[in-house]
Amino acid sequence: MIAELGHYALVLALALSLVQSTVPLLGVRRGDARLMALAGSTSTVIFALVLVSFGALTTLYLQSDFSVVNVFENSHSAKPLIYKISGVWGNHEGSMLLWILILVLFSALVALFGANLPATLRATVLAVQGWIIATFLLFILATSNPFARLDPAPFEGRDLNPLLQDPGLAAHPPLLYLGYVGFSIAFSFAIAALILGRIDAAWARWVRPWVLTAWIFLTLGISMGSYWAYYELGWGGWWFWDPVENASFMPWLAGTALLHSAIVMEKREALKVWTLLLAILTFALSLLGTFLVRSGVLTSVHAFATDPARGVFILAIMVAFVGGALALYAWRAPSLKQGGIFAPISREGTLVLNNLFLSTMCAAVLVGTLYPLALEAVTDEKISVGPPFFNATFAPLAIPLFVLIPFGPMLAWKRGDLNGAAQRLLAAAAIAAVGGAMAASLVQKGPWLAPVGLALGLWLIVGAFSEIASRAKVLQEPLSVAWARAKGLPRSAWGTAFAHAGVGVLVLGVVGETAWKTEFIGVMGPGDRIEISDHAVTLTDIRAERGPNFQDQVVTFSVVRPNGARLPVSASKRFYPARQMPTTEAGMIERLSGDLYVTLGEPQDDGKIVVRVFYKPQVNLIWIGSLIMALGGVLSLSDRRLRVGAPRSAKAHRATGHVAPAE
């Protein structure tokens, strides 16, 4: 009954989404305010329906109702409660439902917060969202029904893939989808602008909070995924340049570019046509990501069971939306009023460079990701493009961008003063140079590029806050005055500083991890001791344990850290009988200075075991840096400027009603 209810809610949502796709547009054409306003109500109801459907699937999981195929294949009655809930999206059908839930959530939010939008724009944006919603509802109902029944119902489920029985699953997909799908709003706004044939600074102001929100979630989602892979897969890697990772990274790069170009459009009414294109491409890359992950056309270390038939469907969706959008763009964009042109040395100029580098980096990742497919189609030759390709292409593009970042906020709009900016960045340059030199003299081993990388990271961090310091006049005024001035700066200035400093922190982490990590692999038995990067690691105990739905072989080590502190750390190999599947649980001592990371290999005939130990200096800065970037995004989002004219109070809303403001 619950399954049928969930299924029925989805079908109803599909029917309503068809209404939302068409009727508001008719209203725009006829100038009928009532038809246009319909989009708001349908968005809200569709959201409620999909929520009911999602709730139904969650209930089925909680009840362990194995008469539903999806629950049977991905759950087990002995599974801990949290994994019964997160297991809902630990499979293709359920995660697709979550994808759609987030999509309709965003539409409902646009309907809710979009009261101040011109009625025609709001109706058109929601109608375009309606097309996307209808297509994906059709997709899930036609190819991936999560409510399909099984008869007779088995007594026990097959259990969730053990690798997914981790808190990481609870957070990673929802965050990632909030990012991916959030960009659909920018897409819909772009299409609406093209349909209505008008675009201006106000458009950028309306779109920017949505882009920023999506960007924050995508940043968190990617870094969360990276951290999850780091501790769960047991190889100690944090980024593999794997197709599935690239699939999420490309929309991030394009979205970051969009975030910056929208600023130019809002402030200077320039880069309009380019910003529209970026909005379309960012969502196109999100769809491409969904396609790559779910179709299984590329070998990936993160790939799950896939079905080519679904891949073809998603490919068709992607071709229709991206092709249609680009055709519309080619037709309508030339007729849009072009924005102004500006001096190369100016805030706009640096933002254009930012966009140039970010989109080129994105293109390089795209080529590397899709080249194997293209080559196979043309020559039948199968190849893989791995980290060496991306390191050789991505890094040389990233370095100049990183050098340029601190200059951006220092330059004024219209016409910047490069000399003045350079002077104000002198302190940052000096600190970076000293830091790099110190690193070079202290650590002799490792590649020569590593100290340069460290200097670059410091340059980004100090450079980011130099702007705040110079605006607060830290050197000219007494400290209390400067502090008061700094507090008075707009939140967006702080947001920019934090986001850019976050990049610097991330760079420090990447450099430390790649240049100075050390590794030991060997057979160890109780009492055996090894040394790695000034840590003494002694194996103390090997024993067997039992978990709720697994058996555990736990190996405990005693670690003496360089400061003399003694800490226990245990790693284990688990075996899940329901799936006949083992997993490796890494043992870690996490410190800001670096992680000691222990994993287990094959047990030996003589009772010993293969042990792999890494020491990864500064690796945690990678995720801390991402968090700081996201924090910068949140600060910027809370800026007054973006809230002005955004959600007004309910009273004011009622007073004005749904009458379209004059455009």
Partner 1 sequence: MTRKQRRLSLIVVAGLVLAAASALVLTALQDEIVFFRSPTDVAENKVTEGTRFRLGGLVEEGSVERGQGEAVRFAITDTANTINVTYTGILPDLFREGQGVVTEGTLDQSGLFVADTVLAKHDETYMPPEVAEALKAQGYWQGEEGSTQ
| Residues near partner 1, by CB under 8 A | 69, 73, 91-92, 143-144, 148, 161, 163-164, 233-235, 296-299, 301-307, 309, 341-344, 352-353, 356-357, 360, 363-364, 367-368, 371, 381-386, 388-389, 392-393, 396-397, 521-523, 579-584, 599-605, 610, 612
Shortest reach from residue 226's CB to partner 1, in Å: 15
Given the complex with partner 1, which of 260 and 612 has the nearer CB atom?
A: 612
Given the complex with partner 1, which of 52 and 399 has the nearer CB atom?
A: 399
d(CA 279, CA 270): 15
d(CA 638, CA 368): 37
Shortest reach from residue 360's CB to partner 1, in Å: 5
Contacts of 537 (CB under 8 A, 6+ apart): 529, 530, 531, 557, 558, 559, 596, 598, 613
Residue that has been written with the tokens 């254009």 in this structure: 352
Given the complex with partner 1, which of 206 and 249 has the nearer CB atom?
A: 249
Given the complex with partner 1, which of 537 and 629 has the nearer CB atom?
A: 537
Shortest reach from residue 390's CB to partner 1, in Å: 8
Given the complex with partner 1, which of 39 and 385 has the nearer CB atom?
A: 385
Given the complex with partner 1, which of 324 and 396 has the nearer CB atom?
A: 396
Shortest reach from residue 261's CB to partner 1, in Å: 14
State the DSSP code for 649.
P
Residue that has been written with the tokens 């490309």 in this structure: 250
Q: CA nearest 157: which of 216, 76, 79?
A: 76
With b meaning 16 or more CB within 10 Å and e meaning fewer, what string describes 207-230? bbbbbbbbbbbbbbbbbbbbbbbb
Given the complex with partner 1, which of 94 and 118 has the nearer CB atom?
A: 94
Given the complex with partner 1, which of 45 and 353 has the nearer CB atom?
A: 353
Shortest reach from residue 339's CB to partner 1, in Å: 13
Shortest reach from residue 258's CB to partner 1, in Å: 17
Given the complex with partner 1, which of 367 and 481 has the nearer CB atom?
A: 367
Given the complex with partner 1, which of 469 and 530 has the nearer CB atom?
A: 530
Shortest reach from residue 65's CB to partner 1, in Å: 17
d(CA 126, CA 33): 14
- Identify residue 572 by its one-letter amino acid code: S
Given the complex with partner 1, which of 306 and 556 has the nearer CB atom?
A: 306
Given the complex with partner 1, which of 151 and 605 has the nearer CB atom?
A: 605
Shortest reach from residue 609's CB to partner 1, in Å: 10
Shortest reach from residue 492's CB to partner 1, in Å: 26
CA distances from 501 to 224, 299, 461 (A): 19, 35, 4
591 φ, ψ (degrees, to nearest 5): -135, 160
- The angle formed by the CA atoms of residues 35, 25 and 644, to the nearest 5 degrees, is 80
- Residues 199/272, Cβ–Cβ less than 8 Å: yes
Shortest reach from residue 215's CB to partner 1, in Å: 23
- Residues 615/509, Cβ–Cβ less than 8 Å: no
Q: CA nearest 349: which of 282, 398, 418?
A: 418
The secondary structure element, H or E, covering residue 543 is strand 535-546
Given the complex with partner 1, which of 379 and 649 has the nearer CB atom?
A: 379
Angle between helices 243-268 and 347-379 (to 10 degrees): 150
Q: What spatial distance separates the first Cα and last Cα of the chain, rounded to whole Å?
A: 50
Q: Burial of 55 by CB count in 10 Å (0-12 exposed, 13-18 middle, 19+ buried)?
A: middle
- Residues 199/245, Cβ–Cβ less than 8 Å: no
At 575 the three-state DSSP class reads strand
Angle between helices 92-113 and 33-62 (to 10 degrees): 150
Shortest reach from residue 34's CB to partner 1, in Å: 43
Shortest reach from residue 399's CB to partner 1, in Å: 12
CA distances from 221 to 103, 111, 119, 165, 172 (A): 16, 25, 33, 18, 5
542 φ, ψ (degrees, to nearest 5): -125, 120
State the DSSP code for 155.
S
Q: Burial of 418 by CB count in 10 Å (0-12 exposed, 13-18 middle, 19+ buried)?
A: middle
State the DSSP code for 414.
S
Shortest reach from residue 573's CB to partner 1, in Å: 8
Residue that has been written with the tokens 């980096």 in this structure: 361
Sheet with 535-546: list strands edge to edge.
529-532, 535-546, 551-560, 566-576, 581-585
512 φ, ψ (degrees, to nearest 5): -60, -45
State the DSSP code for 337.
P
521 φ, ψ (degrees, to nearest 5): -135, 130
Given the complex with partner 1, which of 118 and 372 has the nearer CB atom?
A: 372
Given the complex with partner 1, which of 307 and 639 has the nearer CB atom?
A: 307
Shortest reach from residue 134's CB to partner 1, in Å: 22
Shortest reach from residue 235's CB to partner 1, in Å: 7
